[in-house]
A and B are shown apart, each in its own frame.
Chain A
Amino acid sequence: MAQVTAVTPVAKMVGSNRVIQGKGIVYPLGDAELDAEEEKDLRRSIVRQALEALKTEV
């Protein structure tokens, strides 16, 4: 499991092993400040980081 969250200290505190920095509490995989295309690029990049973490031994 890879966990995407903006509040990484909490994820680490409870013992999550693969933690990915999310964009914000209100949208871990989005950003209302960006236009649609940029936002999707951001989301893709975060999901790819999560997949990369899943592929990596910890």
Chain B
Amino acid sequence: MKVVHYLNQFFGGLGAEEQAGIGPEIRGEAVGPGRLLEQVLGDGSTVVKTIICGDNYAAENLESVMETVVNEVRDSGAELFVAGPCFVAGRYGVAAGALCAAVQAELGIPVVTGMGVENPGVDLYRQELYIVDSGENVAEMRDVLTKMAAIAKVTASGEDVGRPAEWGYIPRGIMKDEIVEESAAVRLANMIVAKTQGQPYETELTQTGFEPIPAPPAVTDLSNATVAIVTDGGLVPAGNPDNMPAIASTIWGSYDIATVDNLEGEDYEVYHRGYDNRHVLNDPDRLVPVDVLKELEKAGEVGKVYEQFLSMTGLANPLANSRRIGQEIAENLKSAGVDAVILTST
């Protein structure tokens, strides 16, 4: 198998941080970890090209490095592209992920990389790529490359790679059907028995990891602040002007409340299939508390109630979609001069 291998300046033997600004250099042979990669791939596999690039250069010129790498891989007729492993080197990981994703998309050949789970490249590319969990210890190089080689060979043969835990890669969030002998009830009971006895067991429902969010500073003087109401409960004006879906919404809406002092059920609809909507339809203030917030505005406790409330349907949304919507809503409110938000969630 013909292989192109990407390394940063450190693993490529050019130097440490002082060489991080160096642009892509091409070598016609395996370099450093690439020699080990040839060994563990076996079957006469050859690294026909090694591309070495400084971490800072790659981070600052990612688009052009991507173009260079895709062209080099194409010209070499490679059947496999390998980047890293990068362990917990952040800039290296982000570049390796981007390059693997670009080669995979442009050339359709197998790609594989390796990173420690804390590497920021993991969150960015785990869904698209096989990223072997390298841990942070560079001394594990042979073990990591062996896992990367195993995944590369299976992918190249067109077969499916098995479960993350068995193959040593970071879960991509892919669900696959599987025939099992025991019913869900039996499996559940076995898990509970194992748990109560302190025995190991494996959950079938892994939780997504969430990054900590830095807390925004307090708004100490609310009597001079503009406060907005946002809800994920799916409240929209009657007629549903934005066609808000009742499940898995990809949109959000912004609706005028400048001239109303409380919300009347007849003026609103709820598009959210995840809770019994009748109580909110009877009185939408139960979800979007315009009535009391406007009273507090009149009383001077709140400077201003923002003249729109923002709404979306928070039900069965993929995380990436929810993050995008959250960012869009935050940007919208920020540019409108809103100082603080009350988010109501059903």
**A contact set with B: CB distance below 8 Å:** 1-7, 10-11, 13-18, 22, 25-30, 32, 39-40, 43-44, 46-48, 50-51, 54-58
User: Are B212 and A15 interface neighbours, CB within 8 A?
Assistant: yes
Binds A, one of B49-57, B172-180, B194-202, B217-225: B217-225
- Residues on B with beta carbons closer than 8 Å to the beta carbon of A14: 210
Question: Which residues of chain B (268-299) have a CB below 8 Å from chain A?
Answer: 275-280, 282-283, 285-287, 289, 291-293, 295-296
Stretch at the interface among B16-24, B61-69, B89-97, B338-346: B338-346
Select one of B222, B278, B289, B296 contacting A29, CB under 8 A: B289
Known contacts A4-B343, A54-B227, A55-B220, then 12 further A-B pairs from the complex at CB < 8 Å, ordered by chain A residue: A5-B344, A11-B345, A22-B345, A26-B279, A32-B279, A32-B282, A40-B292, A43-B286, A44-B292, A46-B289, A47-B292, A56-B218
Partner of B216 from the list A17, A39, A43 (CB cut-off 8 Å) is A17
Cβ–Cβ < 8 Å partners of B219 in chain A: 54-55
The residues of B that contact A2 with a CB separation of less than 8 Å are: 340-343
B contact residues, total (Cβ < 8 Å):
41
B150 touches A (CB below 8 Å): no
Cβ-defined contact, A55 with B218, below 8 A: yes
The 7 closest A-B pairs by CB, nearest first: A30-B286, A5-B345, A17-B215, A27-B286, A15-B213, A1-B341, A58-B215
Query: Could you write out 10 A-B pairs with CB less than 8 Å apart?
Result: A2-B343, A4-B344, A17-B216, A18-B215, A28-B233, A28-B287, A32-B279, A40-B292, A43-B285, A51-B302
